[in-house]
Structure 1
Amino acid sequence: MRALLFSLVFIATAASSAAVQAQDNTAFADNVARGKALVVKYCSGCHAVELTGNSPHPKAPPFRTLSERFPLDALEETFIGTIDTGHPGMPVFKASQDQIDAIIAYIGSVMQ
């Protein structure tokens, strides 16, 4: 009887963990999708934002190669408040923390 009870508790815990994991995966995928929409709208005029392709602006690094210049966690600090790296021609984009999180999630999904 104890073994059966233990098995039922284990199965219920595993099922609950799987449901939470599925929700986390969905939330992460939604965040990545929001980030992609933002970078397509605000960044793709200069940067390559996909897994392939060249940046329209020759001096704008493709997002997939940003890890060669910055660790992903350093990008968040750069984006807090305004997304402005200080180089000429880059528009200033005021971003909420949710938008920054989404952009960082998307960039992380395409970085090499």
Structure 2
Amino acid sequence: MKFVIAPFTDTISELKLVKDLSQQVEENEKSKVKRFVYFNILFFVIYIILYLSAVLYLFIGLFISPIGFIPLLTTVITIVIARALQIKVYPKLKENYFKNIS
């Protein structure tokens, strides 16, 4: 069950971290840090949409037609790709970005 909730908890904790960081930086740097706040919000919205569509496809596959499981497969693959991007690419991107602006 933890792997289902982990994207949301990671995104919320990262959002809090970046928000705290934005309060500590100078006024002219705030707009640069706000980009990561928006990026985390975007991840959160993407996860919500993907999980809701996965639940919808699961219900369609179970109660209406087994063909509903085909879009479920593509949705799960998309969730895995989004999670991999958040785990592998995002920390490197954030680290390089903050190195360049400081």
Q: Shorter-chain-normalised TM-score: which range?
A: 0.3 to 0.5
Higher helix share: 2
Q: Larger C-alpha radius of gyration, 1 or 2? A: 1
